[in-house]
Structure 1
Amino acid sequence: MGRDLVQIQVMDGRQVTDTDRAARRLREEVRKRVGGEVARRRLEHPEPIKVRWSPSGRPVQSPAVVLGTGNLTRQGDVTQVPEFFRSLPRRQLVVLGAPGAGKSVLALLLARELLTSWQDGEPVPVLLSLSSWRPAVTLRRWMARRLRALSPELDKRTAQRLVDEGKVMPVLDGLDELPVALHARAVQEIETAVAEGVPLLVTCRAAEYESTVEESGDFLTRAAVVELESVEPEAAITYLEHSKVAEDRRWDGVFKALRRAPKSPVAAALSSPLMLDLARTAYRAGSTDPGELLTGKRFGKRREIESHLLERYLPTVYAESSDTRYGPEQARRYLTVIARRMRRDGTFDFAWWQIDSLITGPLVGTAYGCVWGWFFSLLFGPVVGVIAGLLSGACGYVAYAAVRSGRKQVYIAKDALHGPRATLLRYGLLGALSGLVVACVVGVVVGCWLHVAVHVPAGTAWVYGLLVGAGLGSATLLGSAWGAYQLSRAWFGLTKRLPPRLMRFLDDAHELGVLRQTGAVYQFRHARLQEQLSGGGRPSKGSILEAEWDGRWRWKPLLPFVPAATQFGFALMGLSIVAMVSYMASSGVSLDHRSGSKPSTSVSSLCNNDATGQTCHSIRTLTWTVPAGSSVATELGASARRSVSVLGLGGGMEARGCAKASVEVGVRLKGHAARPVVVTVGQRDPSGKGRALDRALRFQGELPVSVTLRRLDREPCDLQFAWTEPELTADIYAYARSRFGVPSAD
């Protein structure tokens, strides 16, 4: 139980297992793919560029006596690498070189040659790009996954057995495409995973590999190291001579210049395999004139020649590929937008969260404004709703802009285990989680508040709580890094500046070699191309990952939640201001003497000391004298420019000046009497409880208020009755109650 069954056959005296048959099928699949890639890149039309290599002089390998390379060929060109590789005692090799030196082409040609001469029992060379690997996943497990992608007929167990039994030769291209912080760990894992006797090829940029060895001390101890050189003028002439038709004399002037001045700008430009291939393609047509590269005024410097050839780079790459979905002009337009984003942010990295259109911020603010504006218009009417919507929308936009300006909405650790597509998915989940949390919290709070404060029936209150919560949750999702990317991507897609499916385009450009993937970001494989497309100076040396946040901030893993918290907090702050103003404007209507017994009026000041200084406001008090055994009648007037729902009387009442005396306060408004209030000397009634009308009264404009003060005691003294800040209390939720069909509060 639990053991794998392996079928074994004997052919020609040799045991053949299921794994052997799987290796044969894998070899056929990989050979077709590699052959197609060689043909697509036209590497043999007419022949590969004779890029020279020699043992690296950098301190990055074991001594020759350990490697057993003392008596081996010390140099050659790319066509001789297979022979050199087979002669290595341990058959493990690291190929270093500058950007554009031809490392990937060498790996491709070596894999093709080894696959062609492959024999049963030998490991199958499989070309794998290291950009999608992270050392947190073992190399063997990752290789097994990639084998299943290359050969869908392989099941999981068979793919893993192929790797574990040493029947796969890893040809690992682009160690430098891993995040810098992972280089040492990757080298350690490769050293451990590749068993003794299993062939191996690794390519890497020379400076990055040397830096890794120098800083960590880790290197591939069983691997010889060679380094690619620049293309010599004679090799460049031979390549171009063999690429043109017979009797074509257009290149003669260039050939003479290369021989006469091997250090001239044109010779320096054509020393790169990339530029040499571009030159061949650019001047393939008989109507073109390669002699223009010798024009001093136009092409007097190497950079000017390279810029001219780079202009033809994208049309060449995309025109020659039959697999790409994008035309040369499309690709150039899209990549130009990307390069300009990188120049704007001052980095050589490109990440999906850098896509930010001008309309995204306003749309996020509008989402907040619409939700809060609708809710406040439901509570206080359209005027307050518009004000609330504008203020909360503006606050949401300001918060979004503040977060985006510093790119403080995404945190990617230097040892990120996931590539761009996986990071986008994870931030989509984080955005959805933030939106869900906001929706739940707001929905519960709004539902409870409507039920308790406005007396909306529970079912209706929860429905509106759900609507408000869902709206704000959606606004929060739009304001997240993932939501902002989706809005911006859609806008750029509608305006034809980026493809509708950006990640697919980036993957396509990566497959074509235009971009290289480094962790969660992309980079232009050739920095000069980024410079060319951005229309600016040389690309910055900064990384967007380093610019995200000061590394000393220990809470930076919480960075993904900053946009939601900031935008939601700013919106709440704006709404608090609206609610405060609305409450202050609707809480009461002041009363003044109009006729009848006239009270004395006094004004006092009440001051408070706080952190901002001393704050004072005035307090108005009306005082009546009520003789013993009598009553006093007066009429007060109230005026309001708005329609209000009056619930009763407000302000503080106090009786003084006559011990054991008490007075009954009676109030009538338009024939509706408030509940009588009895005020006794020495007792203060500041709360106003018991001063409500028998029912709420709606009025607008002038309203007379009849007040009767009647003594209830027989004390032979005059009583002083003081009413501080006399007012009519208003129901600030009257509008909401009417909208919800709830009777006005008693």
Structure 2
Amino acid sequence: MAVAAQWREEEERRRIHDPFPLPVHWHPAAPELVDHWANICRAPAGASPGPLVVTGRLERIADVYRQIPSGRLAMLGRAGAGKTIVAVRFVLDMIATRSRADAVPVLFSVGPWNPAAASLRSWLTHQLEREYPALAAPGPAGLSLAAALVGAGRILPVLDGFDEIADGLHSAALRALNATTTPLLLTSRPDEYVAAVTATDVMSAAAVTQLDDLSLADLNDYLPRTTRPSLADGQMTTVWDPVLAHLRDQPAEIASKTLRQVLSTPLMVTLARAVYSDTPGHDPAELLNTGRFGTAEAVQDHLLDAFTPAAYEPHLDCPGHGHRRWDPSHAQRWLGCIAWHLDRLGTNDLAVWQLGATTSRLTRGLIAGAGSALVFGLAGWLSGGGPTTASPYALAYALINGLVFGLAGGISFGLGAQREPSHAQIRFRGATSAYLGLSTGGFAVGAAFALAVGLGLSGTLLSGLACGLALGSHVWLHRPTVIATVPSPGEVLHRDRTATLAFGLAVALAYGTVGGLTVWYSGDPAASIPSVPADIAVTALVGITAGALIGGLSYGRAGAISYALSVMAAGALADGPAHVTGLGPGLSYGITFGCAIAAVTMLPRAWGTYTVNRIWLALCGHLPWQLMAFLADAHHRGVLRQSGGVYQFRHARLQHHLAQIHQTHNRRHEHLRGH
């Protein structure tokens, strides 16, 4: 199964079983956090069953869950205590032992959920459609397959990170969970969960457990086996043996207490392993130096600081597997920029097509506006006879087109809606009415424009047909593709690129045909703009409709308004006699104009937005030019993990730490530049 394959691979990348899983275990939470056991056991009226035995270890998580009749379990643990490790193991064990009648466990990072804006059911549906695009396909009763599965109880939600829900929404989220009897597994830090329970109620019918700290015995069993043994004084030893001996023999020392506190969570143990066990020449004895590390926070910050450089050590490069060498300092800077971007968005999910949020709306608008002005200005220059005449209209048309459409492009790209990834799929079932509607609208706009500029019957039919086919293809090129495996972020972007380029080509052919025919038959389109008020009104209405249709399909309301006004303004300002006619000028203008309109439709799509933002951020030094290769490599090194079609940092604590470093560096740089 795709879900199991994904998380099994994640366990391997994070080396959970190398040499063996850390001994994560738990005990029942405080009674005041737990609902009545009669509710948990779904007991009939009058029955009073006793508490269930919910104590367990990592390898027994599925067994513990299955003995809970309500199927609702909350697992609490402080930062780095192993909540996600337990959630992943739960998914894998439940899938391995499930029957055909059992629901499929799916892991969700619940932090982005806003219960005030979406119910749990609708949010789960949206997440499934985004991470598993096949489930966005139409299902029974007109619903998507994802909605049908959630509604039928065929999905077992594993909600990881209740504590990462935005401040002020935890109580609302708990009330939303209590409004449903859906079986689920929830993980959270204790403070946020206790505060929500205090403000509202316990999670109905849910057993609650608390993760334990790792013991010194756990560390003695695990850490020495993660590094190479060496011969010293006739005995085999490891770099961890002196440190563990110090913790065991001198437990009252401040250094021992501090380090024991740090190494009580799986997160810090895995970071310490990466820094000292997996990296030659590093001695963990330095962690006992109270001069350098006087507090537990200082040790934690050191391990977080050292993790990324350790992950990019040269001995970890694997050229034979397609992984290139990245400079550790550059990698840390780029990862810091990504972490800062995610913190600004309030999410752990790195969707690369949303990188535009890293730059301001003004910057994005200026970039898109400049590109639009250049392309449409070239089209205006060609329509005015620039290559063949010395007419002043060529420059005038270039300036008019560039200014008007550049402004529309900047406003639309800066303020308009950015699309989620889409997939090309030619499928008539369920799409016939939508296809006919768009095709008819496109035909009407293309034919009306052709009539307005006097192309005759053949030109009118050809223009209408070209526009109709192009706009109708939007139905096919903006649909999910049924896939057999969970998409990687690279695959999501690749599929959207295919759909984007295909739709751009269709639009270029359609509008290039209209523009080319206009110049071929009649000279410049403006030459045929009539001077009779009624005809001017009709032509303006056609232009507004065409602009609104293209802008609206591409950018939403902002695009519809911007491009409707821009087409009307361009037609009004470009009034004048014809200057070029014939096949050659028509072909040149048609290609240029078609490409310009195609760019309008491609920019707001996921791949178009990603491309523009990636180039800009790489030019500014914030991200590498080969971004997807860098992210895939970071995933391979264990810095990132994959969740469906997005990446995440391996732990939210690492993300926040890198974001803080990036922000501090930026402030220091701005301060120095100011002086």
Q: TM-score, normalised by structure 1?
A: 0.49
Deviations 1:122-168 (A, max 9, x none): 7366242245986475488679879988999xx98999998777676
Displacement of 1:340: 3.5
Question: Would you say the 8 A contact 1:490–1:500 is kept in 2?
Answer: no
The one-letter code of the counterpart of 1:47 is F
The answer on whether the counterparts of 2:106 and 2:157 sit within 8 Å (CA) in structure 1 is yes
Q: Distance in 1 between matches of 2:239 and 2:379?
A: 73
Asked if structure 2 preserves the Cα contact closer than 8 Å seen for 1:101 and 1:273, the reply is: yes
Aligned to 1:681: none
Q: Deviation of residue 297 (structure 1)?
A: 4.0
Deviates more, 1:463-472 or 1:230-239: 463-472
Partner of 1:329: 326
What are the ranges of 5 or more consecutive residues in structure 1 without an aligned counterpart?
1-25, 413-419, 541-746
Aligned length: 494
| Contact 1:436/1:473 (8 A) holds in 2 | no
- Residue 230 of structure 1: aligned partner: 213
Q: Residues of 2 paired with 1:143 and 1:383: CA distance?
A: 53
| Residues 329/348 of structure 1: CA separation in 2 closer, same or farther (3 Å cut) | farther
Cα displacement string for residues 465-506 of structure 1 (whole angstroms, at most 9, x for unaligned residues):
999988997898899898776323124457793355659949
Residues 447, 465 of structure 1: 8 Å contact kept: no
Structure 2 residue 156 is the aligned partner of structure 1 residue 173? no
Q: After the TM superposition, which residues 89-100 of structure 1 pair with which residues of structure 2 at under 5 Å, given as runs?
A: 89-100=69-80
Aligned AA for 2:23? K
User: Partner amino acid for 1:489?
Assistant: R
Q: Residue by residue, what CA displacement relative to the aligned partner does 1:390-427 show, whole Å, maximum 9, x if unpaired? A: 9x989979x97x999xx977799xxxxxxx98999999
Alpha-carbon distance, 1:225 to partner: 1.2
Once the two structures are TM-superposed, the CA of residue 53 in structure 1 deviates from its matched residue by 2.3
| Alpha-carbon distance, 1:276 to partner | 0.3
Matching residue of 1:56: 29
Letter in 2 for 1:490: I
The separation in 1 between residues aligned to 2:40 and 2:368, in whole angstroms, is 63
Single out whichever of 155-164 and 106-115 deviates more from structure 2. 155-164
Letter in 1 for 2:187: T
Q: 1:103: how far off?
A: 0.8
User: Percent identity over the alignment?
Assistant: 20
Q: Which moved more, 1:366-375 or 1:333-342?
A: 366-375
The structure 2 residue matched to 1:347, chosen from 340, 344, 353, is 344
1:248 aligns with 2:227: no
Cα distance change, pair 444–112 in 1 and its aligned pair in 2 (3 A)? closer
Which of residues 23, 40, 47 is equivalent to 2:20?
47
Structure 2 unaligned regions, length at least 5: 42-48, 230-235, 348-353, 420-488, 501-550, 667-675
Q: SS at 2:304's partner residue?
A: helix
Report the equivalent of 2:274.
Answer: 281
Residues 531 and 537 of structure 1 are in contact (CA less than 8 Å); yes or no, is this contact kept in structure 2?
Answer: no
- Hey, what does 2:190 align to over in structure 1? 206
Larger Rg: 1
Q: Tell me the TM-score normalized by structure 2.
A: 0.53
Q: Match for residue 652 of structure 2?
A: 526
Instruction: Give the secondary-structure state (helix, strand or coil) at the position aligned to 1:226.
Output: strand
User: How far apart are the structure 2 equivalents of 1:167 and 1:475?
Assistant: 42
What CA distance in whole angstroms lies between the structure 2 residues aligned with 1:106 and 1:257? Answer: 30
Read off the aligned partner of 1:354 and give its amino acid letter: A
Q: Matches of residues 175-194 of structure 1 in structure 2 within 5 Å? A: 175=162
Distance in structure 1 (CA, Å) of the matches to 2:91 and 2:106:
7
Query: What is the CA–CA distance in structure 2 between the aligned matches of 1:471 and 1:368, rounded to whole Å?
Result: 13
Instruction: Tell me if the contact between 1:516 and 1:525 (Cα under 8 Å) persists in the aligned partners.
Output: no
The CA deviation string for residues 157-181 of structure 1, in whole angstroms up to 9 with x for no partner, is 9999987776765444344566678
Give, in whole Å, the separation in 1 of the partners of 2:644 and 2:3: 25
Could you report, residue by residue, the CA deviation over 1:3-54 in whole angstroms, capped at 9, with x for unpaired residues? xxxxxxxxxxxxxxxxxxxxxxx6xx66555544434432232332233423
Distance 1:214 1:331, change over 3 A: farther
Going from structure 1 to structure 2, the CA distance change for 1:503 and 1:439 (only over 3 Å counts) comes to farther
Q: How does 1:143-542 map to 2 (within 5 A)?
A: 169-175=156-162, 200-214=184-198, 217=200, 220-244=203-227, 247-259=236-248, 260=251, 261=253, 264-284=257-277, 287-314=281-308, 329=326, 333=330, 336-337=333-334, 339-340=336-337, 347=344, 349=346, 351-356=354-359, 361=366, 364-365=369-370, 367-368=372-373, 430-431=554-555, 438-439=562-563, 441-451=565-575, 454-456=576-578, 486-492=611-617, 497-498=623-624, 500=626, 505=631, 514=640, 525-532=651-658, 535-536=661-662
Give the Cα–Cα distance (whole angstroms) in 2 for the partners of residues 479 and 164 of structure 1.
36
Question: Is contact 1:96–1:228 with CA below 8 Å preserved after alignment?
Answer: yes
Q: Give yes or no for contact 1:499–1:505 (8 Å, CA) kept in 2.
A: no
Q: State the secondary structure of the residue aligned to 1:54.
A: strand
Displacement after TM superposition at 1:250 (Å): 2.2
Q: Distance in 2 between matches of 1:71 and 1:287?
A: 51
**Counterparts of 1:40 and 1:328 in 2: how far apart (Å)?**
18
Post-superposition CA distance 1:416-442 (Å, at most 9, x none): xxxx98999999954387567645544
Q: Match of 2:373, as an amino acid? A: Y
- Conserved 8 A contact 1:435-1:477: no
Cα gap change, 1:298 to 1:82, in 2 (>3 Å): same
CA offset at residue 71 of structure 1?
4.0
User: Which residue number corresponds to residue 78 of structure 1?
Assistant: 58
Assess if the C-alpha contact under 8 Å between 1:177 and 1:518 holds in 2.
Answer: no
- Helix, strand or coil: the match of 1:93? strand
Task: Work out which of the residue numbers 88, 103, 126 in structure 2 matches 1:108.
Answer: 88
Matched, 1:123 2:102: yes
Per-residue CA deviations over 1:55-93 (Å, capped at 9, x if unaligned) read 333854313454358444475543454454344343431
Distance in 1, matches of 2:13 and 2:94, equals 19
Residue number in structure 1 paired with 2:519: none
Q: Would the alpha carbon gap of residues 345 and 501 (structure 1) be closer, same or farther in structure 2, given more than 3 Å must change?
A: closer
Instruction: Tell me, in whole angstroms, the C-alpha distance in 2 between the residues paired with 1:31 and 1:66.
Output: 31
Q: Relative to total residues, which structure has the larger helix share, 1 or 2?
A: 2
CA 507–129 in structure 1, closer or farther in 2 if over 3 Å, else same: farther
Helix, strand or coil at the partner of 1:329: coil
C-alpha separation in 1, matches of 2:646 and 2:228: 45
AA paired with 2:245?
K
Q: 1:311 to 1:508 in 2, by over 3 A?
A: closer
Q: What residue identity is the alignment partner of 2:29?
A: S
Paired with 2:320 and 2:126, the residues of 1 have a C-alpha distance of: 25
Residue 277 of structure 1, CA deviation: 1.4
